[in-house]
Structures are given as structure tokens and as C-alpha cells.
Amino acid sequence: MQTTACNSDKLKAEAKRLGFFGCGISAARRLDEEEENLRKWLDNGQNAGMIYMERHFEMRLDPRLLLPGTKSVISLIYPYFPHKIQSTGNLPIISKYAYGEDYNVVIKDRLNQLIDSMKSLYGNFTFRIFTDSAPILEKKWAQLSGLGWIGKNRNLIVKNAGSFFFIAEILCDLVFNYDLPAKNYCGTCTKCIDACPTQALSESNGLDAGKCISYLTIENKSDIPKQFKGKFSNRIFGCDICQDVCPHNKKPILHNNERFIPKLDWLNFTFNDWNQLSKTDFESIFRKSAVKRAKFDGFKRNLDFINPELIQ
């Protein structure tokens, strides 16, 4: 049995060396304070067609059910804001997180490297790694570990650094000295709520996924409801509007990872360029990208939906 806390400074130094912007650690427990909000969100149907969010309810609240014996939740954030972005003029827009290779693969590679470093530091231990790949309230754990707060746009916001970060976790049976929760600095600002073109955000109810452009262009497998016609602001995969307007993103942290750079120069593709794309072209361009989750038919559906919005 571990009798003394592991040195967390060495872990955080290794995480920084591997490109993580922040690393925070919390004691594993059941998030009793989140139960009511999560149940209300699901009961109100705000998860839309994401039925999987209704599964593993207890596991979402208690990470110890994901890995018996878990003592610590290590939260990490990795920047993804690109050095070059698409014009917000008349071009179809793809969310910045999907410019390069699929973040699940890239970040897990870094997590595995960090695990190797941890074994050198602490010896063998039991662990599991995740990045948007398990029923875990990752933003809440990141907030509890002091990395940032959950903003009104429901993204994790890091003080003086913004919200363009991927979040990852390591569950393990090691014990550390734990970090303090981060404070919320949104104040009275409602810029993200006011800017959302589909009114998916509200102060009282948070995010209604069924109205969110990210959900409608990625997770949604049905036709896009006609009520949103003309409200997508040229978005064809994901949406960054609520982040772009956030005052905390005035100086976003740029990534420094070649794998997040588009392999082909599609950033300036027009609607016509995308519309002429064949299935083979799509699969070639996005072979390693998160965009492939929409699949070719879903991508074309999104293009067709925004076509009348474009000024030719």
C-alpha cells in the first residue's frame, strides 16, 4: 500500500515536456453534486440523439467504476488552436479542432508517452487513459483539478489561455497531493449565449444539444431540421462561434504539433470545391481526421443544407 504521496511536480514537468499545457490532479470520488444536473439534462432530452449519454449513468459520476482501485484523476489539456485558420467569409467552415489528425489518436500517443515517464518516476501502477473516449465528466474533473472552469458555453475555459484545448484523463491507483478547484471568471458576460445562431445555449439550462451546430453536423444522423435553415453561418462540420466570441480567447494558445496541420491545403476550398468532392477524395483528405465521423453522406448533407446561405 502506498504510504506517501507521489511527487506531482515531476509529473507536471513531464506533461509539459510532452506538449500538454496543463496538468492537474484530483482525488477520485463520486461527483454527488453533479447528479441532479446530469439527470435533469437527460430527462429534458437535451442530449438529443446522443442516446449513449443515457448509458452508464453511475459510471459518469464515479470514475472508480471505470477502474476499480482508482485513487487519483489526472486531468490534462492540450492546445489545438491552429496557426492558420479558414476565412470566415463565404467559405464553408470546419471546426478548428478537426484540421489535422484525429485528436483521439494524437493525444493518446502523448498519454502513452506520459505513462512511460510515470512508470520511470513511480514504478508500476494500475491505470487507464482517456480522451473523449469514456463515460467520464472530463470538464468537471479538469475544473476540480484547477485547470479551468466550465463556462456558459459549456467549454472548459483556462484563465489567460482560453478554451481551445483537448481534455484527457489518466485514472490511476497512485496517491498525490491534490490541486484546488479553479474559480469561475465568466462573471456577467453572455457573449457566447448571445452569439449562438441557433440559440443552443442559455444561462439556466446550459446546452441543448438538439440545437447545437456541432451536434447537428456531426453526431446527428438524420436530416437537419428546417427551422435552422440560414442559421449555420457556413458551418459544415462542428462550430466554434461560442468560443470565438469569448473574451478569454483573445489570445488563444497555439498548438505546436505537426499532426494537427492539414495534410492538404483545403482551408481555402469554396462551396463549389467541396461540392465537387467525390467520396474517394473525401476519404483521402480526411483519412486520419475527425471529420470522417460525419461520413461522406453526412458531409454532403451539411453542404447542401448551407448552400442557400452562401453569397455566390
Show which residues are catalytic.
Answer: 132
Distance CA 199, CA 215 (A): 13
The packing angle between helices 103-122 and 8-17, to 10°, is 140
Task: List phi, psi (to 5°) of 295.
Answer: 65, 160
Distance CA 215, CA 49 (A): 9
Distance CA 238, CA 275 (A): 18
